[in-house]
Amino acid sequence: MRIFAITNQKGGVGKTTTTVNLAASLHSIKRRVLMIDLDPQGNATMGSGVDKNDLQQSVYDVLTGYCDVKAAIVSTEQAGYDVLPANGDLTAAEVELLTLDNKEFRLRDALKQVAEDYDYIIIDCPPSLSMLTVNGLVAADSVIIPMQCEYYALEGLSALMNTITGITQGPNPGLKIEGLLRTMYDPRNSLTRDVSSQLIQHFGDRVYDTVIPRNVRLAEAPSFGLPALVYDKRSRGAMSYLALAGEVLRKSQKAARAS
């Protein structure tokens, strides 16, 4: 089983879109997938077809110890993968976690119960360095960083690198950067091309070959509570995330052979 945290401290870079569509793409190639929403906005929950306003239990209850993880997981009919959902209750968890023992390890410890049930667990982290994000990074094997190729993106990236370094020097020494994903990509824009080449120069093969284009169907899909792959599987956005899932899979297999 591999656990990926999808994170970037800059908002609006396609983090939730990536979480939902990578989960759907991995499910479509017959992998058992759990998607975890760690963002109090609950957008990944809603985008997977789960009503955040109608939850009996959520990731909040798991983190604070009110229920175990199996009780809070929801199966999604149309999206196909399982969801550990979130809603506004999660805002309270921020404060509550600070008073609890092993506060950075709550998610990691909870997931031990379902380690045998999934091939991939994908965590949507909030766009801030909070105790929720720390829980996501401590639980993860590696990090996927979605980013737009724009001027301020590189600035935000250095802050994120510092965060990841802090986690590797403390609670999760094994945490790695799985890959950087270029989102909302427009090859006609010279700044996009410049930033893209800087990323490749700095991170080499950790930059995914797949790029995610700006795509209307990708933007529309969440309002229908569906991943793009279910909403319009022939759209450029859906095809790009399928290509990304293929890359993720090949990388995982290569790493497994190496170990």
For the segment 76-115, what is each residue's pLDDT rounded down to a tens digit? Answer: 988 999 999 999 999 988 889 989 999 999 999 999 999 9
Q: How confident is the model at residue 257 (pLDDT cuts 50, 70, 90)?
A: confident
What is each CA distance from 237 to 80, 87, 99, 131, 196, in whole angstroms? 18, 26, 42, 32, 19
Secondary structure percentages of the chain, helix, strand, coil, to 5 = 50, 15, 30
Return the bridge partners of 211, or none: 182
Quote the mean pLDDT of the chain: 93
pLDDT in tens, 192-202: 898 899 899 98
The mean pLDDT of 234-259, rounded to a whole number, is 90
Pairing label, strands 33-37, 120-124: parallel
Q: Are the beta carbons of 46 and 227 closer than 8 angstroms? A: no
C-alpha 190/C-alpha 228 separation (Å) is 28
pLDDT exceeding 90 applies to what percent of the chain?
76
Q: Which secondary-structure segment (H or E) carries 146? A: strand 142-148
Domain 2-250, architecture per CATH: 3-Layer(aba) Sandwich (3.40)
This prediction has a pTM of 0.95
Q: Counting every residue, how long is the chain?
A: 259
Q: How confident is the model at residue 133 (pLDDT cuts 50, 70, 90)?
A: very high
Give pLDDT, residue 103: 94
pLDDT higher than threshold 90 for residue 14:
no
pLDDT in tens, 145-162: 999 888 777 777 888 899
Q: How confident is the model at residue 44 (pLDDT cuts 50, 70, 90)?
A: very high
Return the bridge partners of 143, or none: 5, 177
pLDDT higher than threshold 90 for residue 171:
yes
Give pLDDT, residue 153: 77
Q: Are the beta carbons of 43 and 16 closer than 8 angstroms? A: yes
pLDDT higher than threshold 80 for residue 170:
yes
The mean pLDDT of 54-62, rounded to a whole number, is 95
Please, how many CA atoms are within 13 Å of residue 206, restricted to the half-sphere of its CB? 15
The mean pLDDT of 198-220, rounded to a whole number, is 92
